[in-house]
Amino acid sequence: MIREGTLLKKGAESELYLINWYGGHAVSKVRIRKDYRHPSIDVPLRKQRTIHEANILSQVKLLGIKAPFVYFLDISNFEIIMEYIQGKTIKDVFSPKLCTNVGKIIGTLHSNNIIHGDITTSNFIVSHDGVISLIDFGLSFISERYEDKAADIRLFKEVLNSINIEDFVESFENFCNGYNQTYTTVSSIIFKTVNDIEKRGRYSRSAL
C-alpha cells in the first residue's frame, strides 16, 4: 500500500511521499517491486532492506547524529514512515564551512562502522537554525573495512569536485578536519586508502 500523499522523489529502488501523519507532516518511503526479480527473491529482499534501513536509522540517532525519527514500520508493505525534516539541502545552500560538520557526522558514523553509501550534498538537510541532518540510509551497511569507509569519502570528494570546483580544496580540507575530530585513531589510514583508490582508478583508465 502506498499512502496518499505528494510524491517527493522517485528512485530506482524506492519512492518518497510527503504524507499527513496524525495531523503533521511525515515521509513515507516505499520500496517498489522490481519486475526483473522473481517474487521469491524480490519480496524477501525488499523486506530485509526495509528492516535494515529502519535499524540503521535507530542506531544513528543513538550516536547523536540528526536523522529522521522512524514513526512506523510496515514490513508487509515495505514501508517506513519517518520524520519530515524541514530545511534546504547543502547542495542548495552550499558553503565550504558546512563541510566541517559533514566531516564530523561521517567520522562519527565510520568510527561506529556505519557506512552511509550515498554521501552527497543532496542527503544533508540544513534547518533554518543551521542544524545539519543526514537522510537516505537506503544504501547503508555495517563494515569495519577501511576500504568501505574510504569509498564513502571518495564519493563525497567526487561530488565536491564536480559541483563546487572553485571551493573544492577548502571544502575537502574542512571535511577532513571535521572527520579527524570524531575519528582520530585511524583517519590517516582511511585517507591514505582514499588516495590508493584514486590511484587505482587513474591506472585503470590509463591502461585502456
State the catalytic residues: 118
Phi first, then psi: give them for residue 93, nearest 5 degrees. Answer: -125, 40
Strand ranges of the sheet holding 79-83, from the earlier edge strand across to the other edge: 6-10, 14-21, 24-31, 79-83, 70-74
Sheet with 124-126: strands ordered across: 88-89, 124-126, 132-134
Closest CA relative to residue 194, chosen from 136, 129, 148: 148
CB burial string 192-203: b at 16+ within 10 A, e below: ebbeebeeeeee
C-alpha cell at 66: 540528526
